[in-house]
Chain A
Amino acid sequence: MAKMTLIDAINMAMAHELENDDRVVVYGEDVGVNGGVFRATIGLQERFGEERVMDTPLAESMIAGMGVGMAAQGLRPVGEIQFSGFIYPGFDQIISHAARLRNRTRGRMTCPLVIRAPFGGGIHAPEHHSESTEALFAHIPGLRTVIPSSPQRAYGLLLAAIRCPDPVIFFEPNRLYRLTKQEVEDNGEALPLDVCFVLREGTDVTLISWAPAMNETLKAAAELEEEGISCEVIDVATIAPLDMETILDSVAKTGRAVIVHEAPRNVGVGAEIAANLAEHGIYDLRAPIQRVTGYDTVMPLAKMEKQYLPSTARIKDAARRTMED
């Protein structure tokens, strides 16, 4: 089994599906010859040809809209948006069409489209390259939103996304692309698209996170352990639909919840999780739910990025607050 980075695992999942399903096509700006600006599609055009791995003109509405067309007519398109911050020209196509085609036609037509995009902050990128906008997509009926945070989960979830009969927004935390390596077997085994992952078991407090903030959350859990606070850590990963069962089970055990995300706090996915905890788990809670999030500001440029992103220290503080009962 090979040790690989998250971006290698993404590449491997696309290669696996290109190899095994001739309906699959990969397309986007700079994905062919250049292998993508992060190299997520490196080698794919060489291996599978220009007809299946296509450089497109520079147009996101075209990427999303042609994706709808290709998907509706029997292909399994995997489109790349160069950064999630450039997805907006394609928003209309994603929301008005990809997400609704099945419903509008009472199932006569479907849209098995995957839109992949690098996502999140922490790499000192230029303006518009670092935002976390999962809530915008999670809010749309008919869409699935998925964000892996480890090589294994990236591989299994991307396979599932490509095989999914409905549209999937697949965000890839660019800060984690090459941060760590993990053994990933190219076994073609997909992961479910509606189940959270318990990454660490604990008894005192449940830390719930996803995307690049998973990194700081896991660090906080390890450090809190040394202080005698035992953390259970959940990677939500499948943002929509949301697997509340796993989260509720964990909080039933720990009685405390800290939600961590990079996106702004206001109407973030954390609010949805907190509302569900309040509705269905309030009697299990032994302390107020805590949220550690980005501020309700525009994602700052590189110089201020660190001040914006939820830090391990802020996560630890929040966990300690839940223990003050």
Chain B
Amino acid sequence: MKTVAKFEIGFEQYLDPEGKPTKKLPRTANKEELLKLYRLMTLVRIFDTKAIALQRTGKLGTYASSLGHEAAHAAIGVAMKEKDCLAPMYREYAAQIERGVKMSEILLYWGGDERGSNFSGPAHDFPWCVPIATQYLHAAGAAAAFKYRKEERVAVTVIGDGGTSEGDFYEAINAAGAWQLPFVGVVVNNKWAISVPLEKQTAAETLAQKGVAAGIECVQVDGNDIVAMREVMEKALAKARAGKGPTLIEALTYRLHDHTTADDASRYRSDEEVKAHESKEPLIRLRKYLMEQGWWTEEDEEKLIEECRAEVDEAVSEYQNIEPPGVEDMFDYHFEEITEPLAEQREVAIREARRNG
């Protein structure tokens, strides 16, 4: 039999888990940019810890932690331009914060208040997306709109390893390839989809290779290496912006926390496994590199943590002090103009709310 097609999946890495360069670092890995990224990742880590504490004390609903994913998320945020469009899943806080979403808005959403999804930052960014994989098609559609209007804009979307088993994922990357859309799909492979490990999710060796079937460029990257993650994102965005087609990026990372605060991961994975991944998480590696370069000291670290804590505390108090919505909030955003039957029900609900104090 003769070979009619051949494929290879590349793996990108610049910093190993010890923070040692594995090759010459790219232009974006300069002091200023790396410090900015380190600051963002630290802020999100502290935000995350706080959000979990709020949930545990009944002040927040179920919350999906981003612990361990910070580099993948931060790189997405930093590489994108404001005019690009993000269609996130539900835990990419670093990307969103970088794009101007406020931490208090993230808390509002997970606190069970719809107003959180009317967030700051680019008004064209999609809200959090809980129905797995559906966001991939929104991004493909957004990319189609940009292409139609000949705008130099890119739609970026994010999915988990589990999400790549859904039909919507395949449909989106296939359409992106068929139409050569300005689309960048990131697969944040954190090895687990709640309790289902990657080996049970798919027989594929990599998730990046799913892009092969869609005929699009695909690459695997060390998602805990912020330098590699940023570089791969920048390249994919530039390619898409130049009208040269979509890219699928598989970012290898690990979910260090429970799936959400409603989950208990000790039921299905061992402490040893988690421990083995703790040393590979993205902040340690970047800090080591920064210190090695003489760009960062223990004092800088302490100061940064203090600053981030203060910023997070402020966000928490903003969240906790916001006036609760009136019951009208439930009715007023279904249509541009409220329909008559709905307006009648709105009156009933207001009366009920008054009665119940």
Contacts and interface: CB of A to CB of B under 8 A. Distances in A.
Contacts of B163: 58
Contacts of A311: 352, 356
Contact of A55 (B131, B195, B324): B195
B113 to A, nearest CB: 5
Interface stretch (B26-34, B38-46, B222-230, B262-270): B262-270
B88 interface: no
A304 interface: yes
B165 interface: yes
Most buried by A among B109, B167, B195, B348: B195
Majority SS of interface residues in chain A? loop
A48 interface: no
B77 interface: no
Interface string A157-185: 00000000000000000000000000000
A296 B341 contact: yes
B330 A304 contact: yes
A199 interface: no
A33 B267 contact: yes
A59 interface: yes
B7 to A, nearest CB: 22
A30 B165 contact: no
B291 interface: no
A34 interface: yes
B201 A57 contact: yes
Contact of A307 (B62, B268, B327): B327
Interface string B144-183: 0000000000000000001101111000000000000000
Given A58-B163, A124-B112, A37 B263 contact: yes
A258 to B, nearest CB: 16
A126 B110 contact: yes
Contacts of B348: 295
A265 B348 CA distance: 13
A305 B165 contact: no
Nearest to A42: B267
A127 B262 CA distance: 14
A78 B250 CA distance: 33
Give the residue among B109, B128, B165 with the most A Cβ atoms within 10 A: B165
A211 B68 CA distance: 40
B245 interface: no
A58 B345 contact: no
B112 A55 contact: no
Please tell me the size bucket of the interface on A.
35 or more
Contact of A37 (B166, B194, B324, B330): B194
Contacts of A300: 114, 330
B331 interface: yes
A29 interface: yes
A266 interface: yes
A307 B62 CA distance: 20
A154 B345 CA distance: 33
Contact of A58 (B110, B132, B355): B132
Interface of A: 29-30, 32-35, 37, 55, 57-62, 85-86, 88-89, 124-129, 265-266, 295-298, 300-305, 307-308, 311, 313-314
Q: Closest 3 CB pairs between A and B? A: A302-B112, A34-B195, A57-B165
29 contacts: A33-B267, A34-B194, A34-B195, A35-B267, A58-B163, A58-B165, A58-B201, A59-B165, A86-B131, A88-B131, A89-B168, A124-B112, A125-B61, A127-B130, A295-B330, A295-B342, A295-B348, A295-B349, A297-B331, A297-B342, A300-B114, A301-B113, A301-B114, A302-B61, A303-B111, A304-B330, A307-B330, A307-B352, A307-B356
